[in-house]
Amino acid sequence: MKILVPIKRVVDYNVKVRVKSDGSAIELANVKMSINPFDEIAVEEAVRLKESGKVSEIVVVTIASEKGQEQIRTAMAIGADRGILVKTDAAIDLGGVEPLSVAKTLKALIDKENPDLVIMGKQAIDDDSNQTGQMLAALLGWAQGTFASKLDIDGDKITVTREVDGGLETLELCSPAIITTDLRLNEPRYAKLPDIMKAKKKPLEIIEPSDLGLDYSVRMKIVNIAEPQPRKGGIKVDNVDDLIDKLKNEARVI
Amino acid sequence: MSILILAEHDNVSIKTTTLNTIGAAVKIGGDIDIVVIGSNCGVVAEAASKISNVNKVILADAEHLKHQTAEEIAPIIVDLAKSYSHILAPATTFGKNALPRAAALLDMQQISDIISVESVDTFKRPVYAGNAIATVQSSDSIKLITVRSTGFDAVDATGGSAEIENYSVGAAVNLSKFIKQEFTKSERPELSSAKIVVSGGRGVGSKENFDLIEKLADKLGAAIGASRAAVDAGYVPNDYQVGQTGKIVAPDLYIAIGISGAIQHLAGMKDSKVIVAINKDEDAPIFSIADYGLVADLFDAVPELEEKL
Ligand SMILES: Cc1cc2nc3c(=O)[nH]c(=O)nc-3n(C[C@H](O)[C@H](O)[C@H](O)COP(=O)(O)OP(=O)(O)OC[C@H]3O[C@@H](n4cnc5c(N)ncnc54)[C@H](O)[C@@H]3O)c2cc1C
């Protein structure tokens, strides 16, 4: 069985981002970049399936500038076998490569690579769209198991437990399928130094969107980006009595 | 403009998130229809027909729609889409799962999680965990949009008298099979629409200690929330998670207990009217956004608060 894992290069989740002063974009110069955390969970899940003997090959794909190679190497250090970078200079966070374009790119690659399963993040922590997996499933006519906290593969049978607003839901999906990961699916490992060294030698192919017959036209134009209204800090209360008094008589919320 | 709303319901009753979604549609302006997709859900269609501002209810009722999987919902939306300029769904796990599938089939770029309507084609949506607000303008012919319910007032659930039209449902797609549901049962108000939310974090320390949070919540008639750390540690179920990648809440009062205030958590609650933080670390980032901060050990402060209320 072959798994394809799309990953995204995003601003590291620990970074507090700043908006450029002209309101056109987020400041990305000299900011730490990482694999989107949900995608790291996707890579880890694929690697665990490989370790359990159910999977023979893991291909990671990213759409990014030249620098996307860094995230592919990181995924390879976790255990992916091969990488494809679809190289673009368009913005990948906002106002450039939109989720539908990503889904179309992945579909074109899947038509060539024929994986049996795709595992990807439920959401990228930059544009917070939560669309790409569902869109890809639609374009392929495949089943979708979104927001997965548990995944079982038994031959052709894919069982996925999903984190939904009411609790948990378990579905059985026809194969092939798209899985999108939620936080509880697994805890990704830290890559060890020897694996990081090994990753440098794994095959990494670089292609252009035009090789797949795609261009990245924008349908959802960014008019402006602004910092949210800052919340005014409040006060410290001395004790519980003081707190109750403030809530009752000042804020009047209880 | 003609707007279609994808109703969120459980085949019995309509979720309030649907009413907030209609609130966003009212801001766009135009005729508003609702589609109810499910099984044996005539009562939901009845309820939908009474919602104010609704023009028509379309009922798609079939056995295979019972669990409302995206694979079965999407073709129905695609079929209905040609009559509409906008299609809106709540930005809940239901809407997030189904709508992008329909959008891709229609070749439209969905606009996720809007918090305001600027014009018929321009919307505001939070990005980067709410650290920035993007104003986006869509050039697509049909705008598929998910709506963050905290951004819009709910319309009245009564006062309307829309006609109900039956949709003739096609054959099942059968790509997925429902196995089971493990839903958290609770008498407490629903987290996303509660007036008061009491949330616990890693500081609470264990599943047993969460009793303290529950007692306080019950005293206040509040819903219970949690940080990711508390959910990951198994203190509470996943559906309690508040944050960038959990639920978004904006109650009148949010009480954060033993929660440090990571940006991912703040993303889910910083629009609450009044925020209280109880934390023993006076430098915890949560205090920078709290209206009232109490530096204290939660194991002393929470029982005392509960008792004195
Ligand atoms: C991709 C991604 C998505 C995420 N999404 C979310 C999300 O949706 N929601 C979310 O919440 N987090 C999310 N996180 C996690 C987030 O970054 C933080 O790790 C998490 O919010 C921390 O939870 P916490 O505040 O409970 O724990 P901690 O940061 O460990 O804080 C515990 C706090 O409890 C206090 N404390 C301890 N003991 C006591 C005591 N006895 N009395 C009083 N105070 C005490 C401590 O001083 C501390 O401030 C996400 C992270 C990633 C990478």
ipTM of the complex in this document:
0.97
Residues 6+ apart with CB under 8 A from B125: B111, B112, B113, B114, B115, B133, B134, B136, B148
Alpha carbon nearest to ligand 1 atom 23, residue: B229
Q: Is B15 in the pocket of ligand 1 (CB under 6 A)?
A: no
Residues 6+ apart with CB under 8 A from B37: B6, B7, B60, B65, B68, B72, B73, B76
Nearest partner of B37 among B69, B2, B78, judged by Cα:
B69
Side-chain half-sphere of A131: how many Cα atoms within 13 Å?
Answer: 29
Q: Is B266 in the pocket of ligand 1 (CB under 6 A)?
A: no
Q: Does residue B261 belong to the interface with chain A, where contact is any CB pair within 8 Å?
A: no
The pLDDT confidence band at residue A65, using thresholds 50, 70 and 90, is very high
Judging contacts by C-beta atoms under 8 Å, the chain B residues touching residue A225 are 127, 132-135
pLDDT, averaged across chain B: 97
pLDDT value of residue A151: 98
Which ligand 1 atom sits closest to the C-alpha of B205? 38
Q: What is the mean pLDDT of residues B216-224?
A: 98
pLDDT value of residue B190: 94
Interface of B with A in 170-199 (CB under 8 A): 174-184, 192, 196
The pLDDT confidence band at residue B50, using thresholds 50, 70 and 90, is very high
pLDDT value of residue A237: 98
Kindly identify which residue of chain A lies nearest to residue B72, measuring between CA atoms: A143
Nearest partner of A6 among A155, A95, A131, A94, judged by Cα:
A131
Q: Does residue B273 belong to the interface with chain A, where contact is any CB pair within 8 Å?
A: yes
Exposure class string for A16-40: b at 16+ Cβ within 10 A, else e: ebebeeeeebbebeeeeebbbbbbb
Residue A156 has pLDDT above 90, yes or no: no
Distances in Å between the alpha carbon of B63 and those of B17, B30, B60, B188? 24, 32, 10, 31
Judging contacts by C-beta atoms under 8 Å, the chain B residues touching residue A99 are 100, 109-110
Residue B67 has pLDDT above 90, yes or no: yes
pLDDT value of residue A212: 97
pLDDT value of residue B28: 98
The answer to whether the Cβ–Cβ distance between B107 and A103 falls below 8 Å is no
% of chain A residues with pLDDT over 70: 100
The pLDDT confidence band at residue A203, using thresholds 50, 70 and 90, is very high
Task: Give residue B264 CA to ligand 1 midpoint distance, Å.
Answer: 9
| Residue for token pair 């996720």 | B112
Most B CBs within 10 A among A219, A246, A248, A252, hence the mutation to make, goes to A219
The answer to whether the Cβ–Cβ distance between B175 and A142 falls below 8 Å is yes
Q: Which residue in B179, B232, B287 is closest to A184 by CB distance?
A: B232
Residue A232 has pLDDT above 90, yes or no: no
Q: Which residue in A134, A149, A174 is closest to B175 by CB distance?
A: A174
The answer to whether the Cβ–Cβ distance between A126 and B127 falls below 8 Å is yes
The answer to whether the Cβ–Cβ distance between A100 and B247 falls below 8 Å is no
pLDDT value of residue A155: 87
Q: Which two tokens stand for residue A3?
A: 């798994």
Q: Does residue B12 belong to the interface with chain A, where contact is any CB pair within 8 Å?
A: no
Q: Does residue B164 belong to the interface with chain A, where contact is any CB pair within 8 Å?
A: no
Q: pLDDT digits over B151-184, tens only?
A: 999 999 999 999 999 999 999 999 999 999 999 8
Q: Which residue in A38, A167, A222 is closest to B134 by CB distance?
A: A222
Residue B286 has pLDDT above 90, yes or no: yes
Q: Is B270 in the pocket of ligand 1 (CB under 6 A)?
A: no
Q: Is B262 in the pocket of ligand 1 (CB under 6 A)?
A: yes
Residue A23 has pLDDT above 90, yes or no: yes
Which ligand 1 atom sits closest to the C-alpha of B281? 47
3-state secondary structure of A158: strand
Which ligand 1 atom sits closest to the C-alpha of B284? 49
Side-chain half-sphere of B191: how many Cα atoms within 13 Å?
Answer: 26
Judging contacts by C-beta atoms under 8 Å, the chain A residues touching residue B196 are 253-254
Residue B215 has pLDDT above 90, yes or no: yes
Q: Does residue B108 belong to the interface with chain A, where contact is any CB pair within 8 Å?
A: yes
Q: What is the mean pLDDT of residues B200-222?
A: 98
Residue A69 has pLDDT above 90, yes or no: yes
Task: Give residue A181 CA to ligand 1 midpoint distance, Å.
Answer: 20
The answer to whether the Cβ–Cβ distance between A126 and B293 falls below 8 Å is no
Nearest partner of A200 among A59, A83, A63, A87, judged by Cα:
A83
Q: pLDDT digits over B120-160, tens only?
A: 999 999 999 999 999 999 999 999 999 999 999 999 999 99
Considering only residues B8 and A233, tell me which one the structure prediction assigns the higher pLDDT: B8
Angstrom distance (rounded) from CA A246 to CA A42 = 46
Helix (H) or strand (E) holding A110: helix A99-113
Tell me the shortest Cα–Cα distance from A214 to chain B, in angstroms: 14
Tell me the shortest Cα–Cα distance from A55 to chain B, in angstroms: 22
Angstrom distance (rounded) from CA B89 to CA B87 = 7
Q: Which two tokens stand for residue A253?
A: 């919320």
State the helix-helix crossing angle for B210-220 and B298-308, rounded to 10 degrees.
20
Tell me the shortest Cα–Cα distance from A202 to chain B, in angstroms: 32
% of chain A residues with pLDDT over 90: 97
The answer to whether the Cα torsion of A65, A111, B71, A170 is positive or negative is negative
Alpha carbon nearest to ligand 1 atom 36, residue: B203
pLDDT value of residue A233: 81
Judging contacts by C-beta atoms under 8 Å, the chain B residues touching residue A182 are 238, 245
Q: Does residue B18 belong to the interface with chain A, where contact is any CB pair within 8 Å?
A: no
